[in-house]
Amino acid sequence: MKSHIPHGIVVDKQTGEATPASEHVVELVIEGLQKDAAAKPLTKRVTEIKAELKDLAAPGTVITVDGIVEAPVTLRQQVVVVDDAALKAALGKRFADLVDVKVDYQPTEKLIAMAADADDPLAQKIRACLEVKESVSIVFRDIAPKAKRGKAA
């Protein structure tokens, strides 16, 4: 005998129109809620593990556990605009074609090259407005043969 499936509705947020949700949609939403709740502590723990590994292994290395997993430790850098007003003043009308404007300012490759060019008359002013941000990434890659997956202790 099939267990009772709760009633569900799908509401269009623009029109307010409500239609009954199919049993399949209701089951998927309930399962999504349950899986999400179960995953949150795991996600938190994986974040903690990665933070600890970042302190124990240098970027550019790969941690390998024979036949089970490899975890490359990767350094990422990003140049970001930290003082948009000063950069606008330094670049004037060129700001629009040298900076990609999003939620935050993203310098173009050309602007980064200008900042790095000691002969560019704006280089010093541009460098004062930019900052290089780094982050370290760790990804766990399952390298175990399919027959042995899940058997590691």
The residue type found at 15 is T
- pLDDT, tens digit, 9 for 90 and up, residues 18-53: 999 999 998 998 898 898 889 989 999 999 999 999
d(CA 153, CA 151): 6
Q: For the whole model, what pTM was predicted? A: 0.51
For the stretch 33-38, contacts whose Cβ atoms lie closer than 8 Å and that sit 24 or more positions apart, written own/partner, are: none
CB atoms within 10 A of CB 67: 10
90-118 tens-digit pLDDT: 999 999 999 998 766 889 999 999 999 99
What local confidence, expressed as pLDDT, does residue 136 receive?
82
> Which tens digit of pLDDT belongs to each residue from 55-103?
999 999 999 999 899 999 999 888 989 999 999 999 999 999 999 987 6
Domain coordinates in residue numbering, the chain: 7-56, 59-153
Residues 116-134 pLDDT 10s: 999 999 999 999 999 998 8
